[in-house]
Structure 1
Amino acid sequence: MVTWSNFDTLTSYEELPKIERVKLAEVMAGENGADRVKKYSIPMAAGLTYNYAAKQVDDQVLEGLEKLAKEAQLADKFKALYNGEVINTGEKRLVLHHLTRGQLGDAVVADGVDKRAFYVEQQEKIAEFANKVHAGEITNAAGEKFTTVVQIGIGGSDLGPRAMYLALENWAKKNGLFKMEAKFISNVDPDDAAAVLNSIDVAHSIFILVSKSGTTLETLTNESFVKDALKNAGLDASRHMIAVTSETSPLAKSEDYLAAFFMDDYIGGRFSSTSSVGGAVLSLAFGPEVFAQFLEGAAEEDKLAANENVLENPAMVDALIGVYERNVLGYPATAVLPYSQALSRFPAHLQQADMESNGKSVNRFGEPVNYPTGPVLFGEPGTNGQHSFYQLLHQGTDIVPLQFVGFKNSQIGTDVVIQGSTSQQKLCANAAAQVVAFACGKEDENLNKKFDGGRPSSIIIGETLDPKALGALLSHFENKIMFQGFVWNVNSFDQEGVQLGKVLAKKVLAHETDGALKAYSDLLNI
């Protein structure tokens, strides 16, 4: 039987601080470091590897974390989640994003519907629609093919799909699988929509409106902006727009859209890239087969996350080390550093996925917790970040654990040799160097040039960033977030923290303000 208990009530929580701290700079030096690199490594799906040799752990720490995993019943809780128990206690909902890419356990029936069958049905409908668009069977009023797809959404309806599109754009072009350019409109700032509309030919563009409820203020505002642009161009907006929404939303059966594809309340926005939210734009951009490969990689990684052997479960190990860093070592933040320009927006997606999920100060039952929960997360691709914020990471007063991601080969497959090495080799050399530099540091009598080291990192390494690898990478971090939420006994699947500002904004627009809210409204000339 699964028991939901606060982290600080667990026996393993009390034991972890008693374990001797690992002196990272020492254990990573010389041949000891080489041995650790070989030892502390776990295979992932799609040819990826999770290596945590440069984390501040050893066998003793890992033994303590294994005890924590078992006492916190992480494997059992994941099993309860994918078998359809109500895990989102705040909204009394199931959590089913894993079902969008595969069946991990029992058939899940909710609202009288087999949910796996429902998600597959939506994927098949999207695939059929995308194929007709690509074949010129669905066209604009002039009978001309659509060449651009524009997603209108915010939060999880934008960050994940945008990051996934950018991750695969060059790969698809190299492999002859690029079908349509994709653009994204998210911010209610009119400059965002205007910039996108000014960069495309609206007559040959199809727009995807993404809103589960059909009432998202920013999204509906941007939809009106787009509809005005279509009208001003003499175009019928209903011939250019599709909706991704719930079956009960006002958008579901509206004649304003060419088609509607459905999601449901059991998939949170930040976990929706493998649902219709990501499926429509990615299938139109690259073809349904590419989206299917993306789902396959995620499904394979989900299976690894269900492994009850902790040290063979990369997402669980990653999560447990993160808890150790946050709650025992006292590190308040973490940085995700992909050495791949294609993953330029991946840290922004993970920022939402992690901080919106585990940025909680009450437990699953609405009671205050007395320990730190989710860390602050940020990141940029290397090597750009090295010339930006790495100074603080190397020599700042706070230690920030790091998560690198690197690939042996570029997506384009071609390169040039400059000064004896290729661009990709230079990129990978920098990734390897940074891992060791952060861990080992450098002695120098000039304190300004001294690096203390002892700054922990992990690295995920793959051959090439392709759809399967991207799916596995996404799944790894989604499951890591889930496991950490289980340890901290928080509900990782609601987001009440985003609601208050929305409520007050509506009051401002209705001119129902007083005090400081009225004063700030006046300053902004509302």
Structure 2
Amino acid sequence: MDAVMPQECETAQAALGPRCDQTPQWAQLRAYFERQGRQLDLREAFASDPQRFAHFSQQAPEVFADLSKNLWDRGSERLLLDMARACGLQRHRDALLTGQAVNITEQRAALHTLLRRPRGLALPGDEPWVAGALKEVHQTLDAMLAFAESVRADAQITDIVNIGIGGSDLGPQMAVVALEPYRVLGKRFHFVSNIDGHELDRVLRNVRPEHTLFIVASKTFTTLETMTNARSARAWFDAQGGQDVARHFVALTSNVAAARDWGVTTTFGFADWVGGRYSLWSSIGLSIAIAIGDAGFRALLAGAHAMDEYFRTAPLEHNLPVRLALLDVWYRNFHGFGSRCIAPYHANLRRLPAHLQQLEMESNGKRVDHHGRALPYATSPALWGEPGSNGQHAFFQLLHQGPDVLPLEFVAVREGMHALAGHHQMLLANALAQARALMQGRHSDCGHRHFPGNRPSTFLLLDALTPASLGALVALQEHRVFCSGSLWGINSFDQWGVELGKQMALDLLPRLQSGDVAGLDASTAGLLQRMR
């Protein structure tokens, strides 16, 4: 695919430097990998370098990271850093944070960091429109949080039903679940995303119209799954004798007119430079704000902003999002690892893998560069995972003794927030043990009992799971994804790949009713006829 991009896209790319494989360091990294990287043994690396842990671990805002159990050394890291500089990563980072149109295929900024920037704060190099946009961000934030406080204080509202999909569901749901100890008492939170009616039906069977607030989250107010579920919820509300739609339905949308026509008078919008998977910081986070309140939501934003500032100012060699991205490129393009497992050792982070799946795979699941040219290398790995210690009894067998090396990312929290004696220490011991066992392995002459070891892992540690630390953790992952995408020379902020299936679904829906299979392939036609 060699599509010709508009001239302005060419200019934007030219200002940002070459992609990773067009730098001298790419060939040097290839030679270094063949000479040393392929054979690196973590056990020997620790034995030969007493400072390995100190060098490959660091504190970032709210997050401590141990990268020492990964299959790299100081030589490979140095070459990767030189490659990042040659790619113009620092300039691209500054362009992102100051509102330049880094989303070149849609010719707009990707300034989700503005959503958590303090009121009135200007950054060097800000685009002229940013100051006005920041003022609007805070006006919307203040109004949204005031509304959230009114819902929190309304004893008649006992159930909050968030209807959205993708970023309008995954981020808010992840945060509401993660921050359960901070949630307001007396209210239940439900999330409906799937167009499968079983999901909405299950929620509606457990709520009453007079006690329920429905949040309809769709930027355009046209998203197929969201609006189908919203119409069904509205029909249920009317059929159950619900009164005052304006009180029980609120819209998170930029299409205020469509929401008003639908009967919704309370709306909170967000700008087109807020991508869905980066939107939990915006009015899309209303369910989070209702759950944890004004102070909690502002702490979430403050934690993310602290990570933003750190990302903006820390030197590349001590910049955690950058180091994680370098490791991602090293693993994907040199070691050939095709996936990464996320294992949060905290039950309240059980939806984190799902959020990170969208964040990384929708952002960096691309096969062409900024110019629309096919890439000669792989990009995003497949992300997957479950909370520990459940995963230990499901897929860790594959991680320890399977034929493929699958990097693992642990996320642990030093302090628990329950009073059950012994549980949290046992959980942490399991996390430490699994990371150590993956690296150390165990020799046995019996092949069934032999663990090869030298399996890589990253360990991220929070002191406590709070709104601030969650905000920092998610922002860390956002910046990591941006950096790896920047090195690969791709646009991490569009998602054209989600469109084709949607368009085909619109064509197939009436065919399911009519039975018309004209022009369809034999498989689709046969399946359609079986479904009728």
The normalised TM-score by structure 1 is 0.92
Gap change, CA 1:27 and 1:274, over 3 Å in 2: farther
- Aligned twin of 2:30: 17
Residue 129, structure 1, aligned to residue 147, structure 2: yes
For residues 219 and 151 of structure 2, what CA distance do their matches in structure 1 show?
Answer: 24
Residue 96, structure 1, aligned to residue 103, structure 2: no
Gap change, CA 1:87 and 1:168, over 3 Å in 2: same
Checking the alignment, whether the CA contact within 8 Å between 1:6 and 1:369 is kept in structure 2 is no
Gap change, CA 1:251 and 1:200, over 3 Å in 2: same
For residues 75 and 149 of structure 1, what CA distance do their matches in structure 2 show?
Answer: 42
Q: Which runs of 5+ in 2 are unaligned?
A: 1-13
Q: CA deviation at 1:510?
A: 2.9
Q: CA deviation at 1:243?
A: 0.4
Q: CA deviation at 1:372?
A: 0.8
> What's the secondary structure of 2:215's corresponding residue?
strand
For residues 331 and 468 of structure 2, what CA distance do their matches in structure 1 show?
Answer: 30
Q: CA deviation at 1:519?
A: 3.0
Residue 160, structure 1, aligned to residue 171, structure 2: yes
- Aligned twin of 1:149: 160
Q: CA deviation at 1:29?
A: 5.5
- Aligned twin of 2:361: 355
- Aligned twin of 2:4: none
Gap change, CA 1:4 and 1:33, over 3 Å in 2: closer
Gap change, CA 1:356 and 1:393, over 3 Å in 2: same
- Aligned twin of 1:337: 343
> Residues 144-192 of structure 1: CA distance to partner in whole angstroms, max 9, x if unpaired?
62122110000111011111110001x215xxx5463211010000001
Among 285, 293, 305, the alignment partner of 1:287 is 293
Checking the alignment, whether the CA contact within 8 Å between 1:75 and 1:307 is kept in structure 2 is no
Gap change, CA 1:113 and 1:207, over 3 Å in 2: farther
- Aligned twin of 2:247: 239
- Aligned twin of 2:55: 39
> Residues 285-335 of structure 1: CA distance to partner in whole angstroms, max 9, x if unpaired?
221111110011000011111135112211110111111011111111111
Q: Which amino acid aligns with 2:20?
A: F
> Residues 482-526 of structure 1: CA distance to partner in whole angstroms, max 9, x if unpaired?
00000000111111111000000000113375322333322222x
In the TM superposition, 1:109-124 aligns within 5 A as 109-110=128-129, 114-124=132-142
Gap change, CA 1:198 and 1:4, over 3 Å in 2: farther
Q: Which amino acid aligns with 1:37?
A: F
Checking the alignment, whether the CA contact within 8 Å between 1:29 and 1:440 is kept in structure 2 is no
For residues 49 and 393 of structure 2, what CA distance do their matches in structure 1 show?
Answer: 27
Gap change, CA 1:76 and 1:178, over 3 Å in 2: farther
For residues 305 and 113 of structure 1, what CA distance do their matches in structure 2 show?
Answer: 21
Among 92, 97, 113, the alignment partner of 1:77 is 92
- Aligned twin of 2:520: 515
> What's the secondary structure of 2:437's corresponding residue?
helix
For residues 28 and 11 of structure 1, what CA distance do their matches in structure 2 show?
Answer: 27
Gap change, CA 1:509 and 1:249, over 3 Å in 2: farther
Residue 395, structure 1, aligned to residue 405, structure 2: no
Aligned residues: 503
Q: Which runs of 5+ in 1 are unaligned?
A: 137-143, 417-421
> Residues 344-368 of structure 1: CA distance to partner in whole angstroms, max 9, x if unpaired?
0100110011001101001112111
For residues 474 and 456 of structure 2, what CA distance do their matches in structure 1 show?
Answer: 22
Q: Which amino acid aligns with 2:61?
A: A
Among 294, 310, 327, the alignment partner of 2:316 is 310
Residue 224, structure 1, aligned to residue 242, structure 2: no
> What's the secondary structure of 1:490's corresponding residue?
coil
Q: Which amino acid aligns with 1:101?
A: R
Residue 327, structure 1, aligned to residue 333, structure 2: yes
The sequence identity of aligned pairs, in percent, is: 32
- Aligned twin of 2:304: 298
For residues 78 and 59 of structure 1, what CA distance do their matches in structure 2 show?
Answer: 24
> What's the secondary structure of 2:179's corresponding residue?
helix
Q: Which amino acid aligns with 1:172?
A: Y
Among 102, 106, 110, the alignment partner of 1:87 is 102
For residues 305 and 264 of structure 1, what CA distance do their matches in structure 2 show?
Answer: 23
> Residues 238-294 of structure 1: CA distance to partner in whole angstroms, max 9, x if unpaired?
320000011x4543544612410011210111111111111x111112211111100
Q: Which amino acid aligns with 1:93?
A: R
> What's the secondary structure of 2:415's corresponding residue?
coil
Task: Name the Cα RMSD after superposition.
Answer: 1.9
For residues 294 and 114 of structure 2, what CA distance do their matches in structure 1 show?
Answer: 18
Checking the alignment, whether the CA contact within 8 Å between 2:18 and 2:86 is kept in structure 1 is no
Q: CA deviation at 1:91?
A: 1.3
- Aligned twin of 1:419: none
Residue 405, structure 1, aligned to residue 411, structure 2: yes
- Aligned twin of 1:496: 496
Checking the alignment, whether the CA contact within 8 Å between 1:108 and 1:114 is kept in structure 2 is no
Gap change, CA 1:307 and 1:197, over 3 Å in 2: same
- Aligned twin of 1:183: 190
Structure with greater helix percent: 2
Gap change, CA 1:96 and 1:179, over 3 Å in 2: farther
> What's the secondary structure of 1:94's corresponding residue?
coil
> Residues 182-213 of structure 1: CA distance to partner in whole angstroms, max 9, x if unpaired?
11010000001001111223321101100011
> Residues 101-140 of structure 1: CA distance to partner in whole angstroms, max 9, x if unpaired?
0157244455x9822112111110111111222333xxxx
Moved more, 457-466 or 36-45: 36-45
> What's the secondary structure of 2:313's corresponding residue?
coil
Gap change, CA 1:104 and 1:431, over 3 Å in 2: farther
Q: Which amino acid aligns with 1:75?
A: Q
Moved more, 482-491 or 144-153: 144-153
